[in-house]
Amino acid sequence: MFHGMEYVYEVYKEQSFSKAARNLYISQPALSSSVKRIEERIGVPLFDRSTTPVKLTECGEQYIQAAEQIFSAQRRFSGYLDDTRMLEAGQLTIGGVGMFASYILPPLIAEYKRKYPKITVSMMEESQPQLEKLLFNGKLDLVMNYQEFAQDVFESCPYREEHLLLAAPQQFPVNSSLLAWRLSLDNVLSGDYLAERYPPVPLEAFANESFILLRPSSDIYQRAIQLCSRCGFTPRVILTLEQQLTAYNMVSTGTGVAFISDTLAKNILPHPNIAYYKLDSNFSRRIIYFYYKKNRYISRAMEEFLNIACREEA
């Protein structure tokens, strides 16, 4: 009764026979017939087709749970076979939020593929909550993230530190009184600014400026509020955005000041209209990790990727 379960699972995932058929590269009538045959073998329907989108029946929910357990067992056995083949075949699926998926993961994956060209690597860009869910469900092997996942559920491998900076438009008058704290782009790119001889900017100097922050659930937002509160003010937020890059671009237009990571500053073309400032390391320093689920089988493909990413970085 689980022969053809990938068809049922795709319909469940897409909540649509037509979308699932496109993903599977078969016609919708062929997909509908295949699912119908499975339902006839079971004796009860798996989907309620009277709703849009289609929904699982109670039996369908149990079927999907069993199918996911079978998929998980298949992945574990596939991982074992990968080991025996000495990385001559295998798959690795890595997830990350937009910043990491855009700037950090691509060169790491490229290096890994040069060393192990026969391993199929895929990358998924999602929100942090969705990444954690996908990692827990076994849809992802590794996730790069800076916010801590549940330690009783996930293991972690530290990748490296990153630090937050304050980015301000050059034309803001406040910059003229902060020349002693202003960082050159070379300071930022080389990481020299982390040395003790470069003091953190007195953030209270920006108390009357307009701030561009990320969404309240983000790690950067929480750190920004802590940094400002420590300096005795609440930031006047004029924009709340999803992505650091968008905030950076808004700073370049003179809209307001923003907190960005040195990861972003090191990976994009510099803008002449932006001034950078160091922040208090107690709140601006954070660790980037690779997470994987506890007690899962660690394939050679995963192990070798972590060797390249974490140990060589260290």
Q: Which CATH number does the domain housing residue 49 bear? A: 1.10.10.10
CA 303 to chain centre: 20
pLDDT digits (tens, 9 = 90+) for 30-74: 999 999 999 999 999 999 999 889 999 999 999 999 999 998 888
**281 lies in the same domain as 293:** no
Same domain, residue pair 295 and 150: yes
Contact of 175 with 275, CB cutoff 8 Å: yes
141: closest CA among 85, 78, 61?
Answer: 78
Based on the fold, state whether residues 56 and 203 are members of the same structural domain. no
Q: Say whether both 291 and 213 belong to one domain.
A: no
Query: What is the average pLDDT across 3-11?
Result: 90
> Given pLDDT bands bounded at 50, 70 and 90, which one contains residue 111?
very high
User: CATH code at 228?
Assistant: 3.40.190.10
Residue 134 and residue 213 share a domain: no
Percent of the chain with pLDDT over 70: 97
Residues 17 and 91 grouped into a single domain: no
Beta strand spans in 28-71 (E) = 47-48, 55-56
One domain for residues 182 and 80: no
Q: Which residue has the tokens 């790069």?
A: 144
Domain of residue 125 covers 75-160+287-311
- Burial label, 240 (beta-carbon count in 10 A; 0-12, 13-18, 19+): middle
| Burial class of residue 182 in the structure, from the number of CB atoms within 10 Å of its CB (0-12 exposed, 13-18 middle, 19+ buried) | middle
DSSP tally for the chain: helices H, then strands E: 13, 12
* Cα gap 47→59, rounded to integer Å: 9
Q: Are residues 214 and 282 in the same domain?
A: yes
The average confidence (pLDDT) of the chain is 91
The residue assigned the tokens 């993903």 is 23
Q: Same domain, yes or no, for 227 and 278?
A: yes
State the DSSP code for 193: G
Report the half-sphere exposure of 237 (CA within 13 A, side-chain side): 14
pLDDT in tens, 164-181: 999 999 999 999 999 999
Distance of CA 7 to the CA centre of its chain: 28
- Crossing angle of the two packed helices 5-14 and 17-24, in degrees rounded to 10: 120
Same domain (yes/no): 39, 113? no
CA distances from 202 to 165, 280, 309 (A): 13, 9, 35
Domain count along the chain? 3
pLDDT digits (tens, 9 = 90+) for 217-263: 888 999 999 999 999 999 999 999 999 999 999 999 999 999 999 99
Q: What is the pLDDT of residue 91?
A: 87
Yes or no: say if 278 and 144 are a contact pair by the CB < 8 Å rule.
no
**Rounded to 5 degrees, what are φ and ψ at 28?**
-65, -40
**Measured distance CA(201)–CA(198) in Å, rounded:** 9
Give me the amino acid identity at 304.
E
pLDDT bucket at 84, cuts 50 / 70 / 90: low
pLDDT one-digit tens code per residue, 264-304? 999 988 888 999 999 998 889 999 999 999 988 888 899 99
Q: Give the contacts of 111 (CB within 8 A, at least 6 positions apart).
A: 308
Q: Are residues 147 and 48 in the same domain?
A: no
Say whether both 112 and 192 belong to one domain: no
Residue 87 CB burial class (10 angstroms; 0-12, 13-18, ≥19): middle
Q: Residue 261 is encoded by which pair of tokens? A: 């990571």
- Could you report the per-residue pLDDT of 132-148, keeping only the tens digit for each? 999 999 899 999 998 77
Contact 59, 45 (CB under 8 A): yes
Run of H or E including 123: strand 120-125
